[in-house]
Amino acid sequence: MTDLYTKAQALFPYTQSMRRDFHLHPELGFQEVRTSGIIAKELRELGLEVSTGIAKTGVVALIEGAKPGPVVMLRFDIDALPIHEETGAEYASQTPGLMHACGHDGHAAIGLTVAKLLNAHRQDFAGTAKLVFQPAEEGMGGAETMVREGVMDGPAPARTLGLHIWNGKPLGWIGIAAGPVMAGASSFKVVISGKGGHGAIPHLSIDPVLAAAQIVTALQSIVSRNVDAQKAAVVTVASIHGGDAFNVIPPQVELTGTIRFFDTAVGELVHRRFEEIIHSISTAMQCQAQNEISEITPPVINDTETTASVLRAAGVVFPAETPDTQPYVTMGSEDFAFFQQKARGTYFFVGSNNEARGLNYGHHHPKFDFDEEVLVRASALMAASALEVLKDA
Ligand code: NI
């Protein structure tokens, strides 16, 4: 295991060429046909047992160790975003309007590199590494669909591991924390219906704009007045639409937004208060409200034992470094949580920005790009973590 970093370094030209190829040809969630075709071909060339077509474009490969033992699942997401790339990189997207702006091109390349590393280390472990290349992570339900289609069965993993290359931190930083690391998320759409009419004669109308304004304001009392000040939650109204003339009261106003939380009980409280506020204010304002709340993901909560295994792996691969074990809490969400609900596991972060080279734009920015050295570090750490978790599972 000590030489995994050296081996990952030797594979860098391969990893980089795969990453750049995926970057040139981004594909949106559930449409990653080219990407998953290449992934399956590369894995088959290693002689692995490969399944395709799970959640449309997902790919699963099994790497059997020398002896039977537990199964650890390693997850890599592969989808791109509807963003027009502005990096000017030589490997910039060739598809206008689509871009790998979150680094999932890197994750796919890391997954292929981890496959090579673990395949070369078959003699050193008991059990099975189950590599899962997941489509549609970007709010489209890829993980949930994979779980529904049986990715957690045959063979069922005892543990799960996932990672994100992280431009919020510099190359050299590693974040490995137990507990909550990414938020649970839901989206909402509220339609407030009143009665349209002339803007100069409001008493003959029922004004949904006034109701919407009070609702937007009152929703902000949930986090400030209902949630324990030492716990985290977010309620954001992100869009508000209604009316199109200065002198007409519209019949309807539509609000959309998102709710974020770490603690399930806090999530339930926020959702309950959300419904109460929407309905009671609408009623008080003589309007009617219809709301749809859709769960996006539960929170990502890292398992203590698996996290300890990943930390031991980091100690072996990067003996001179000290990983950051403070929960790198972000209110961003990650559907890796759906896999964790079936098999406890850990999701860790590998710092990837390089300010001196201008590679420090945030995820989902049209100029997002990262220092490719992170591909080596993340591949070595993921492979070592798999071996360490298999020892303990
Ligand atoms: Ni991402």
Per-residue pLDDT tens digits for 340-360 = 999 999 999 999 999 999 999
pLDDT value of position 388: 96
Q: How far apart are CA 100 and CA 77, in angstroms?
A: 11
CATH numeric code, 184-297: 3.30.70.360
The residue count of the chain comes to 393
Cα 329 from Cα 296, distance rounded (Å): 18
- Whether the Cβ atoms of residue 374 and residue 111 lie closer than 8 Å to each other: no
What is the model's pLDDT at position 139? 84
Question: 347: CA distance to ligand 1 center in Å?
Answer: 12
CB 124 within 8 A of CB 1: yes
Please give the distance, rounded to the nearest whole angstrom, from the Cα atom of residue 258 to the centre of ligand 1: 18
Amino acid 328: pLDDT:
63
The pTM (predicted TM-score) of the whole model is 0.91
Q: Which of 75, 147, 136 is nearest to 102 (CA)?
A: 136
Token code pair at residue 273:
């208060």
- Delimit the domains of the chain by residue range: 4-178+303-392, 184-297
User: From the CA of 83, how far away is ligand 1's center (Å)?
Assistant: 14
**Cα(109)–Cα(115) distance, integer angstroms:** 10
**Looking at residue 79, what is its pLDDT?**
98
DSSP 362: P
- SS3 state of residue 358: coil
The pLDDT value given to residue 392 = 74
36 Cα to the center of ligand 1, angstroms: 17
What pLDDT is stored for residue 39 in this prediction? 98
From 105, 137, 207, 335, active-site residue: 137
User: Topology of domain 4-178+303-392, per CATH?
Assistant: Aminopeptidase (3.40.630)
What distance in angstroms lies between residue 86's CA and the mean position of ligand 1's atoms?
18
Query: What stretches in the chain show pLDDT beneath 50?
Result: none
Peptide bond preceding 155: is omega within 30 degrees of 0, i.e. cis? Answer: yes
Distance (Å) from CA 9 to ligand 1 centroid: 24
DSSP-assigned letters across all residues of 24-64: HS---TT--HHHHHHHHHHHHHTT-EEEEEETTTEEEEEEE
Catalytic residue among 27, 77, 79, 303: 79
285 alpha carbon to ligand 1 midpoint, in Å?
41
79 part of the active site: yes
Predicted confidence at residue 154, as pLDDT, reads 85
Going from the C-alpha of 34 to that of each of 24, 26, 28, 137, the distances in angstroms are 11, 9, 11, 17
Q: Does residue 385 contact residue 313 with C-beta atoms inside 8 Å? A: yes
- Which candidate, 392, 350, 341, places its Cα nearest to that of 114? 350
User: 3-state DSSP call for residue 164?
Assistant: strand
Tell me if residue 105 is catalytic. Answer: no
Residue 339 region by backbone torsions, left for phi larger than 0, else alpha for psi between -120 and 50, else beta: alpha
Place of tokens 């063979």: 155
